[in-house]
Amino acid sequence: MRNTDAPAVVPSRILYTMVRVTDLNRSIAFYRDTLGMHELRRETFSDARFTLVFIGYGDETSNAVLELTYNWDQGAYSHGTGYGHVALEVIDIYGACERLTSLGVKVTRAPGPMKVAPDETGERETIAFIEDPDGYRIELIENNRA
């Protein structure tokens, strides 16, 4: 009988999050030019008519990345109600949102602190939300401890 609690059989890290995109070049430009990510690798499956682009910060061996999936014959997608968002860390959230706005990025929630419930105390993180070219939500979370 296998030990199902052994480290070898328990997942140990997030590899990537996949999002489907309608215009691969537009999406790569958005994540690269506005969010500072780098294309890490590309896989093209001509017979199945799709391309995968892995994009992120740093390398895939120690960082979670995004997989942009471009199905060649698909013109649009419905996000449904199950998808939430991708969260990215930023040191200066107000400056980041100014920069993104100047680049034409849609800010859907202006930067500001999370509201604390009346019965809670303490500070909450400062966040903002933006959208990528396909309407996927991206949360920016300020980490000014750097």
Residues 137 and 91 in one domain: yes
Residues 15 and 37 in one domain: yes
Domain that holds residue 113: 81-146
Residues 102 and 140 in one domain: yes
pLDDT in tens, 11-49: 778 899 999 999 999 999 999 999 999 999 999 999 999
In sign, the C-alpha dihedral spanning 44, 104, 18, 64 is positive
Residues 4 and 64 in one domain: yes
Tell me which of 26, 60, 77 is where a domain ends: 77
Residues 6 and 61 in one domain: yes
Q: Which of 60, 89, 120, 139 is catalytic?
A: 139
Confidence of residue 7 (pLDDT cuts 50, 70, 90): low
| Model pTM above 0.85 | no
Tell me which of 77, 105, 129 is where a domain ends: 77
Confidence of residue 1 (pLDDT cuts 50, 70, 90): low
Q: DSSP 3-state helix, strand, coil percentages of the chain (rounded to 5)? A: 15, 35, 50
How many independent structural domains does the chain possess? 2
Residues 48 and 63 in one domain: yes
Residues 58 and 104 in one domain: no
Q: Which residue has the higher pLDDT, 1 or 104?
A: 104
Is the pLDDT at 140 greater than 90? The verdict is: yes
**What are the DSSP calls for 76-131, one per residue?**
----TTT---EEEEES-HHHHHHHHHHTT-EEEEEEEEPPPPTT--S---EEEEEE
Return the H-helix or E-strand segment holding 28. Answer: helix 24-29
At 25, phi and psi to the nearest 5? -65, -40
pLDDT in tens, 64-123: 999 999 999 998 888 887 788 999 999 999 999 999 999 999 999 999 998 766 666 666
Q: Which residue has the higher pLDDT, 85 or 146?
A: 85
Residues 119 and 146 in one domain: yes
Catalytic site includes residue 89 = no
Residues 62 and 87 in one domain: no
